[in-house]
Structure formats: structure tokens, C-alpha cells
Amino acid sequence: MKQIIILFFAFISSLSAYCQVSNLEEGNQCFNKGDYICAEAKYKDVFKTAVGKDKQIAEIKIQRAKRCIVNLKNADLAFNGKNYTKAKEFYLVILDSNPQDVFVKGRLESINKLLSTPIQKPLNPKTKSPSNPTKLSISKTEISFKSSGGSNYIDINSNLNLYTVDMLPSWCSVQKYNNYFVVICNVNKEISKRVDYFYVKNGVENIRINISQEGVTQKAETSLSLSKTNLYFSKNGGDENITVTTNDNNFSVALIPSWCTIQKFSTSIIVTCLYNNNQSRSNWFQIIAGNKAVKVYVEQSGTNNNNEIPSVDIKQKNRKTLYSFSSLGLQSGEIAKYGLIYEHGGRKTVGFRFSSRTSLTSEQDILNGIAKKNKTEIELGPNFRILNRLYLNIGFGYGYYERLLNNDFAGDVFLEKTGYSVATTGLMFRISRAININGGASFMDIEKDFYKPEITFGISCNLKNKNDSEINSSQSQQKRKSVSSRNYKSNLSSFSSLGFYSGKNAKYGLFYETGGSRVTGFHISARTSLKEETIINGQLILNRSELALGPNFRMSNRLYLNLGVGYGIYDYGYSNDNYLGTDDYFTANAGIMFRVSRVININAGFSFENFDIEYDKPEMTFGISFNIWD
């Protein structure tokens, strides 16, 4: 039996070696015939089964076949494109690897015949063939080329059979024929123009020929200027023409106000302003060419500036129409009784709102059984104008409650926080320009089941109301100020604020935020617990520190959404004297910032620990900051 096994393996080894030799010989035959694709396939078959030195030989032959395939492809492309010099270079490389390639040899013979034929110069009826010239003469003594290079023909008459071209610049070459020669100029990749000369000699006389070539054209810096950058319109609107001067091929108009339209022409634009039945308004747009942008400020007076409209008509109109608003007030519910609500809208069909409520139930009251129901919620979402005074509110958010748990085995009682998703709906009714009332319902975990909702209600007061009757008529008679100063008064400008930031666990921190000039800004925060003992998820945390940063998004003139990611560390153990170790975690945070005034901002939000691993109870954060500049 042992002998049979040995013979079997010997047979298999012999068969494998025979197959390798067979494939290798077939590959060599294909290669010698010039069929490099066939050769590569055979060599690869050998490579799969070969070992040691045979495997290295197969790999070398595979690479040689691949090079021949690439060079043959390039050579054929050059030959078909009548670039015979380049084709010859590739064919010679192939012939160096395979001297037996019949096809390549044939192609090289054809190329040599083609290259031996002189370049035919264009027929010039004025050029006469030389008839016993008595001296050296040429058709031109000045030649020039573009930066892309090219060729130039020069006729020559000489009483001697031989002539030479001497002192030719390095960036040129020459092809000589009996009664003319061709000067070939290479591409000039430099910006500067290059100038030189060379001589034509017949042994008796010398003629100098001046040669020049243009440099690469450098694109000029984009210039952009406008005939006017400040536009003023009456309440009735109208048209204004702006002439646009630029060296760029085209220009564009961006960030056009909704109450304006633009007609664009090749060298100008026409700005059309619509009728304004509201108070004075101002905005700006940009004209962009290349990397240059110029702002154009637009200002339009409102109906309050027209003395022809009687005050009685304005009052009647204002009784019918309530304009845009931003309101702040109180909101309460059956369980979470203490809260705030902010709403903004009225100018368009869709506005924005957010609210935050809590039951303010202490942990001791829950442990003692005094209070059983408790919850804290924060939610935000859009509002939709249904009627002039009636709005539909929809919102989504996050909430949590604390519940009492008994550990009968350990004889211990402790609290556990449970988080849930919040969905809200309700109505807001504008009683007057100053006061709004709202009511609705808050649903817990609506994606899991439909539980009995908590009924909510509230009242809010408008921080501002863009109503024509509230604008003092004496202000409309003051001197018109610039658009930029008016924009500063009507809007809160860009800001950089620095303040204090705190959370339930990491209580001591700083908060820096900048933004306002664009939709997106930036904020960074840092908080620490300063070695205060805290129980988180049943573990004693000795201290905790977090650093987070990210963008902020302007949702309205005063309201910003903050999003951030960061890194945190904490020490844990049984006590400050019994330290066990340090751990770190990834943090993600989300919240809102409200600009109370140009000086003071308030913010609130949530910080999630290891949000990339699992969803856990977040830490609620809040803070106040003061603008360094506005």
C-alpha cells in the first residue's frame, strides 16, 4: 500500500512538471510569433503551479509579455496617427525583447520608407527654382512662432550645392532639403517670450535669420466693478439698471432677496423691486465674476413712509392683518408643570418653535414616596399658519423620567432614569399683537405604542411685531441712513460670545460661540466636575471632564441650533481615597442658543456619552454667554 501511495504522488508530480514545461514551451512559441496575449496567458498558467526558481522565471516572462502588449498598442496608435517617429521608438523596444517578431519587422521597414520621403512644402507660385544663382539668398529673414510651437518653411537659392544651418537655438530643430529647409519649434512652457537667431551659410556668404516665440499667456487677475452698489426704491417698487464691468467671460448674481427680481444681460442687470405693503425693508445680493464678489445693498420704504395714506386706513388694515412675530412665554402640563416656550413665524406659512418643561421633582421626594409622577421634556419643530390668527404646532424631542426600583436581595432602594422620545401637536391662537395662547398634547414613545398623552397649555408675549401702526411716524421723516447701518438696527449682526456652561454632572465650564454673519457658525465648550462625587448608571464617578466643538446653524434672527462632537474622560472608584482607574468616551451634543439681546445669549441642550456605541440617558446642559463684540 505504501508503494502505491508513493507511485501515485510521483505520477502527480511528474504530470504537474510536464504541464508546467508544456505551458512554458507553448508560451515561448506564442511570444516568438508575436502573439503576446497568448504568451501572457500561458505564462500565468505556469505561475499558478510553479514553485521556487520556476515561479520567478514565469513571473519575469509575464512582465516581459505585458510590456510588449503595451508597447505594441502605443506603436499601432502612433502609426495609425501618422506619427511615424514615435511609432518607430515603440516598435524598436518590442524588437529588442523579441527579435523574431515578423509583424514588427515589417512595420519598421514601412516606417523607414515613409521617413525617407522628404516633407513636401506648400506650393508657392511666386517661388522660382534656382537658375544659376550668383549668390546666397533666402525667402525670409524673420520667423515667429506661437507658444504651442510649429514649423516654418524657408526657400533657399545658392550657387553652391551644399549649405549649412548653424547656431540654431536649443528649442528648435531643422530638416534640410535641396532648395528649402524646415525650422521646427518646440512648445514654450514659460510665460516670457524667447528670442534668438541662427545663420544659413554656403561656404561663401552668411545670412542671419531672427527667430522668436510667444510665451504662455497668463490669465489676468479678475476685475469686477459696478456702476452702483446701493439701490433705493419707494414702496411702489420700480427698476434700477446696474452696469457690470469685468474682464471675466461671465458673471452671476446670487442671494437675490425674495421681493426682488433680476434680469441679466451681457454687461448689465436690471433689478426690479416689487410693491411693499409692509414696513421698510432692506437686504443685499452679490454679483460674482471669477473669484471676485461685490455686494449690492437694496433698501425699500414701506407704506408707513407714504404720507398720502391716511392713518385711518392703516389702522383698519392692521386690525385685519397680524404680521411676523417672535414670542417667549410659559408652558405647563399635567405632570411637567414648569416650562418655557418660544415661537417665531407669521411672515411665511411655516415658522419655528421649541419648548422645554420639567416637573422639578426632587430625588428625595421620589424616594420618600411623596411624588410618583415626574418627567422632563424638550422638543422643537415647525408651526404652520392656518388662518391669520391660528397656527398648527408639531414637534419632536426627547424626555426622561425617574422611577423607584427595589433591590430586595441587597435591601436597597435606588432611582433609575428612563429616556423616551417625545411627539407633540397643538394649536396657537393670537389673541392680539402682544399675546398668544397655546394648547396641545405630548405623546411618549409614540413609535412604540399609543399611550395616553399629557395635556399642555401656555401663554406667550411677543418680543417684536412687525406691524406698521407701531412704527412712529416721526421716524419715517428722519434722514435716510445707509443700508448697512439700517441692517444693523433691524437685525442682530455677527457675534462672538464667551460665557459659563454647566451640566448635571460636569457643572463647571466655559462656552465660546461665534456666528451670525452667515447661516453656519462655530462653537466650542469645555466642562468639568472638579472631583465632585456623582453616581452615573450605578457607578461612582469621582470626576468628569468633556471637550466638544461643532457648527451652529441660524434658524431665525435670534435662534441657533448647536451640534457638536467631542471627547471626555472620568475617574471612577469607591471614593476619592479608593481610586480604581480612568476611562474615556466619545461625546455628542445638541442644543439651542437664544440671543436675548445684542449682549446676552442663553443656551440649553443635551450631551450624549458614547452615542456611537449605544443610546444612553443624556446629560442636560445649560449656560449663559456675553458677546465680546457684535
SS3 string, 442-504, reads EEECCCCCCCCCEEEEEEEEEEEECCHHHCCCCHHHCCCCCHHHHHHHHCCCCEEEEEEEEEC
Q: In the block, which residue shows the cell 419632536?
A: 396
> Span 145-161, mean pLDDT?
83
453 pLDDT above the threshold of 80: yes
Q: What percent of the chain has pLDDT over 90?
A: 23
pLDDT score for 539: 58
The residues, any chain, with a CB within 8 Å of residue 264's CB and separated by 6 or more, are: 253
List, in sequence order, every beta strand (DSSP E) within 247-291. Answer: 252-254, 260-264, 268-273, 281-289
171 pLDDT above the threshold of 70: yes
* Rounded Cα–Cα distance for residues 411 and 120 (Å): 109
> Span 455-479, mean pLDDT?
59
* Rounded Cα–Cα distance for residues 622 and 438 (Å): 25
Range of the domain at 36: 2-116
DSSP H or E run through 182:
strand 180-185
DSSP code of 532?
-
* Number of structural domains the chain divides into: 4
Q: How far is CA 150 from CA 146, 174, 188, 431, in A?
A: 8, 12, 11, 83
pLDDT score for 413: 66
**Amino acid at site 584:** D
CB 621 within 8 A of CB 607: yes
> Span 206-219, mean pLDDT?
85
> Span 372-391, mean pLDDT?
88
314 pLDDT above the threshold of 80: no
The 3-state DSSP class for residue 101 equals: coil
Q: Distance from CA of residue 147 to its chain's centroid?
A: 37
User: How many other CB atoms are there within 10 angstroms of residue 295's CB atom?
Assistant: 14
Q: Answer whether residue 367 is part of any domain.
A: yes
* Rounded Cα–Cα distance for residues 445 and 450 (Å): 8
Say yes or no: 453 and 551 in one domain. no
595 pLDDT above the threshold of 60: yes
Task: Give residue 567's pLDDT band: very low, low, confident or very high (50, 70, 90).
Answer: confident
Q: CATH number for the domain including 79?
A: 1.25.40
Say yes or no: 520 and 621 in one domain. yes
pLDDT score for 122: 52
Query: pTM, whole model, 2 decimals?
Result: 0.33
142 pLDDT above the threshold of 60: yes
Question: Crossing angle of helices 2-33/52-80, nearest 10°?
Answer: 20
- In the listed set 162, 186, 213, which residue is the last one of a domain according to the structure? 213
Distance separating the N- and C-terminal Cα atoms of the chain:
97
pLDDT in tens, 340-356: 898 888 877 888 888 98
Q: Answer whether residue 565 is part of any domain.
A: yes
Say yes or no: 406 and 364 in one domain. yes
> Span 361-388, mean pLDDT?
82
Any idea which of 60-64, 539-543, 617-621 has the lowest mean pLDDT? 539-543
| Between residues 245 and 125, the one the model is more confident about | 245
Q: CATH number for the domain including 165?
A: 2.60.40.10
Give the residue from 303, 347, 311, 630 showing the smallest Cα distance to 498: 630
Any idea which of 236-245, 279-288, 323-332, 432-441 has the lowest mean pLDDT? 323-332
Q: CATH number for the domain including 384?
A: 2.40.160.20
The 3-state DSSP class for residue 525 equals: strand
Give the residue from 449, 345, 325, 335 showing the smallest Cα distance to 394: 345
pLDDT in tens, 498-521: 899 988 878 889 999 888 777 888
Q: Answer whether residue 256 is part of any domain.
A: no
Say yes or no: 108 and 158 in one domain. no
Dihedral sign for Cα 304, 306, 312, 316, please.
negative
20 pLDDT above the threshold of 70: no
pLDDT score for 283: 93
Q: Answer whether residue 536 is part of any domain.
A: yes
pLDDT score for 288: 92
137, HSE (Cβ side, Cα atoms, 13 Å): 11
Say yes or no: 333 and 451 in one domain. yes
Task: Give residue 609's pLDDT band: very low, low, confident or very high (50, 70, 90).
Answer: confident
pLDDT in tens, 51-75: 777 888 888 889 888 988 988 888 8
* Rounded Cα–Cα distance for residues 284 and 291 (Å): 19
Say yes or no: 108 and 144 in one domain. no
Percent of the chain that is helix, strand, coil (3-state, to 5): 20, 45, 35
pLDDT in tens, 288-312: 998 889 999 999 998 765 444 344 4
> Span 40-44, mean pLDDT?
88
Task: Give residue 316's pLDDT band: very low, low, confident or very high (50, 70, 90).
Answer: very low
Long-range CB contacts (< 8 A, 24+ apart) of 192-195? Answer: 194/169
Say yes or no: 555 and 625 in one domain. yes
pLDDT score for 322: 67
Give the residue from 602, 578, 579 showing the smallest Cα distance to 591: 602
Q: Answer whether residue 167 is part of any domain.
A: yes
Task: Give residue 153's pLDDT band: very low, low, confident or very high (50, 70, 90).
Answer: confident
- In the listed set 213, 234, 254, which residue is the last one of a domain according to the structure? 213
pLDDT score for 577: 56
pLDDT score for 318: 46
- In the listed set 213, 230, 263, which residue is the last one of a domain according to the structure? 213
Q: Answer whether residue 224 is part of any domain.
A: no
Q: Answer whether residue 241 is part of any domain.
A: no
126 pLDDT above the threshold of 60: no
Say yes or no: 330 and 448 in one domain. yes
User: How many other CB atoms are there within 10 angstroms of residue 178's CB atom?
Assistant: 11
Say yes or no: 61 and 162 in one domain. no
Q: In the block, which residue shows the cell 451652529?
A: 552
Q: Answer whether residue 245 is part of any domain.
A: no
pLDDT score for 489: 42
Q: What is the CA radius of gyration of the chain?
A: 43
Q: How far is CA 469 from CA 237, 310, 486, 545, in A?
A: 21, 12, 19, 53
> Span 107-129, mean pLDDT?
64
User: How many other CB atoms are there within 10 angstroms of residue 350's CB atom?
Assistant: 10
> Span 594-621, mean pLDDT?
79
Say yes or no: 521 and 608 in one domain. yes
- Partners of residue 562 on adjacent β-strands: 552, 591
Most confident of the following: 79-83, 200-204, 273-277, 482-486: 273-277
pLDDT score for 281: 92
Pairing of strands 206-213, 230-233: unpaired
Cell numbers for 52, please give them: 521556487
> Span 178-184, mean pLDDT?
86
pLDDT in tens, 480-492: 444 444 444 445 6
Any idea which of 57-66, 546-555, 570-579 has the lowest mean pLDDT? 570-579
Say yes or no: 156 and 54 in one domain. no
DSSP code of 55?
H
Average pLDDT, the chain: 79
Say yes or no: 23 and 96 in one domain. yes
pLDDT score for 568: 87
pLDDT score for 471: 39
